[in-house]
Amino acid sequence: MMVGSTEVPSRAFPSQAPMTLQQLQYIVAVVETGQFSRAATACHVTQPTLTTMVRKLEDELGVTLFDRRSTPIRPTTDGEALLAQARVVLREAAQMKALVKELRTGTSGTYRIGIIPTLAPYLLPLFLARFADEHPHAKLVIDEQRTSRILAGLRSGGLDIGILAGPLNDEDLETIALFREPFLAYLPAGHPLLKQRRIDRKDLRKAPLWVLSEGHCLRDQTLGICQHPSSAGHENIVYSTGSIETLKRMVNSGSGLTLVPELSTTPEDRHVRRFVAPEPVREVVLAVRKPFVRRKAIEALTRSIRSALPSRLRSTTLATEVIEGIRP
């Protein structure tokens, strides 16, 4: 070293060695597991290998990505920003692989789908078996989840597709409208409103309602129509459920009433009454994170769902009013 010169740490002048997708996978794994040892296990490499590769990436970028003194290990301020971009790069790389696969094999592959519980038991039986028969090389991994978890899964990459109630108002997501599903009043036997062919929402303003628990978008939509939350008027009952069928049984016992989506009913059901126009509805959408390149799969799933719907729900001329609920 020359006399009078000052030795500068290597990170002040980043090296020119190119970073790799593997290194990005390693640093994301460290954040997700909170430990280098667990990250190494998750990535199927030894800990010294992973630690060395992370160090090389830090040297190349000229930053320290992690606070190694914390337990669990946390990213530094610079690390937070770079890790967010690393996730974007990894997601885009995965999209390129997915696009190549679709170009070669069409709709084949695995698709992770989240669907809200108030849709799953009524919509899935209509199309799922037929879709499986028509697309034998497409594997659907389906999980019932509340709206908030589906949105989080789409943003993180944990889910490929969401089937839920819109609108979502999220710039990172693309939505495809599937259908509009009317809400119907579900009334106990002998209720005076059953004498009417259709009912007005004002008839339910102070009605004793059973509603779903917090976090279900159908709860928010129901309250948006009736504006009177309660456990069917029982002030000494706080009841939490995620099941529409349970609410129906409570009504059938003669206690209160509820609102249900049309797919959960049958034409012969004597407990339901439609609302006068415009009918309150929920808009059911298919959601994916932008950009979602596997268009053939999305198109096939959309076609399958729409073609399986009852004719009334396939109509686009319904006089309806979309009820937007708060989605935590």
Pair 73, 115 in one domain: no
Lookup result for tokens 């789409």? 154
- Angle (CA) 207 245 275, round 5°: 45
Residues 216 and 275 in one domain: yes
Q: What is the CATH number of the domain that holds 90?
A: 1.10.10.10
Q: Which CA distances in Å does 74 have to 106, 222, 250? A: 41, 42, 49
Query: Are 192 and 292 contained in the same domain?
Result: yes
Whether 5 is in a domain gets the answer: no
Do residues 79 and 135 both lie within one domain?
no
Query: How confident is the model at residue 317, as a pLDDT?
Result: 45
- Label residue 151 exposed, middle or buried (CB < 10 Å: 0-12, 13-18, 19+): buried
Into how many domains does the chain fold?
2
Q: Are residues 75 and 128 in the same domain?
A: no
pLDDT of residue 328: 32
* Mean pLDDT, each 10-residue run in order, the chain (328 residues): 43 61 92 92 93 92 90 89 86 76 73 93 96 92 93 89 90 92 91 92 79 58 54 49 83 85 91 90 91 84 94 65 43
CA distance 292 to 160: 8
Closest by CA position to 122, among listed 248, 231, 257: 248
Does 64 lie in the same domain as 89? yes
Question: What pLDDT, on the 0 to 100 scale, is given for residue 9?
Answer: 45
* Dihedral sign from CA coordinates of 35, 40, 46, 50: negative
> Domain for residue 6, yes or no?
no
Q: What is the CATH number of the domain that holds 243?
A: 3.40.190.290
Q: Is 16 exposed, middle or buried (0-12, 13-18, 19+ CB in 10 A)?
A: exposed
Q: Which of 146, 130, 108, 141 is nearest to 305 (CA)?
A: 130
Through-space distance between the first and last CA atoms of the chain, rounded to whole angstroms: 61
Do 219 and 211 touch, CB atoms closer than 8 A? yes
Sort 168 into a burial class: Cβ within 10 Å, 0-12 / 13-18 / 19+.
buried
Task: Enumerate the H helices of 177-238 as residue ranges.
Answer: 217-226
The predicted pLDDT at position 315 comes to: 67
Q: What is the pLDDT of residue 228?
A: 53
Residues of the domain holding 31: 13-97
Q: Which of 42, 73, 97 is the last residue of a domain?
A: 97
- Cα–Cα distances in Å, from 247 out to 61, 167, 184, 232? 57, 25, 13, 10
What is the per-residue pLDDT for 286? Answer: 95
149 and 298 co-located in one domain: yes
Counting other chains too, the contacts that 303-306 makes at CB distance below 8 Å and 24 or more residues apart are 304/127, 304/130, 304/131, 304/134, 305/123, 305/126, 305/127, 305/163, 305/178, 305/179, 306/178, 306/179
Domain boundary among 97, 124, 142: 97
Specify if 3 maps to a domain. Answer: no
Which of 59, 76, 97 is at the close of a domain?
97
H, E, C per residue of 268-281: CCCCEEEECCCEEE
Phi, psi of 74 (to 5 degrees): -120, 150
Hey, what are 46's tokens? Answer: 């030894």
Distance CA 5, CA 184 (A): 81
Exposed/middle/buried for residue 87 (C-beta within 10 Å: 0-12, 13-18, 19+): middle
117 in the same domain as 29: no
Tokens of 65: 């990505």
User: Do the Cβ atoms of 325 and 219 come closer than 8 Å?
Assistant: yes
